[in-house]
Chain A
Amino acid sequence: AQTVTQSQPEMSVQEAETVTLSCTYDTSESDYYLFWYKQPPSRQMILVIRQEAYKQQNATENRFSVNFQKAAKSFSLKISDSQLGDAAMYFCAYSQGGSEKLVFGKGTKLTVNP
């Protein structure tokens, strides 16, 4: 079975600085997708970024980018120029190609200090 591990239960960053959240996963599949979701205290889970396993190029979305290391099965999220609104729980998630299921990590709570 696939597993997703987020080893940092909590992280903090100063406003305007950069922070990296770690995620590793375990799978024997070749076709899969990786996601980062953000869940602010208001509760709504928001899709931040998606990475297809076959793509070597790292995905980016504005201030959010990933470092996808397929051989190491690592999928970290970098947030640049951190803003107060980035404070949230961040979940890394895995989806096998063709599957409607998401496998979530336990989450990392990010605090942004002014």
Chain B
Amino acid sequence: DTEVTQTPKHLVMGMTNKKSLKCEQHMGHRAMYWYKQKAKKPPELMFVYSYEKLSINESVPSRFSPECPNSSLLNLHLHALQPEDSALYLCASSPQGFMIQGTLAYEQYFGPGTRLTVT
């Protein structure tokens, strides 16, 4: 089972609102990711959590705040967003990297995304 779930599917929020996106996986994966994807563009990495610790932050504005309460759950807290933040937000997870010839490789499995509209 390679299922990553995300809620809500759609979210409309005003620029002064506070909301959260939720991502869950029950596959025992050790890394979880947040991506932002604009229409007809590839996903852009925002954050990576590895063993529940933030390992990568791609210089994302502080109005996006990630949280990893446990190994199965990843949240993205949103506050004071701008209209240009409207996008599809994808969560992904990957199992423990498999060792091949001395290096680790990771396969990422994506959730269905949350379509966010900021008004």
Contact = CB atoms under 8 A, between A and B. Distances in A.
Contact size class for A? 20 to 34
A104 B110 contact: no
Interface string B40-57: 111101001010000110
A24 B48 CA distance: 26
B58 to A, nearest CB: 9
A44 B111 contact: yes
Interface stretch (A47-55, A57-65, A78-86): A47-55
Contact of A42 (B31, B103, B111, B112): B112
B43 A97 contact: no
Interface residues of B, number: 31
A107 B37 CA distance: 12
B107 A50 contact: yes
Interface string A12-54: 0000000000000000000101010100001111110010101
A91 interface: yes
A109 B111 CA distance: 20
A33 B105 contact: yes
Contacts of A99: 106
Interface string A68-110: 0000000000000000000001010001011111101111010
Pick the 9 closest A-B CB pairs, nearest first.
Answer: A97-B103, A104-B42, A45-B110, A31-B103, A44-B112, A98-B103, A33-B105, A43-B113, A98-B104
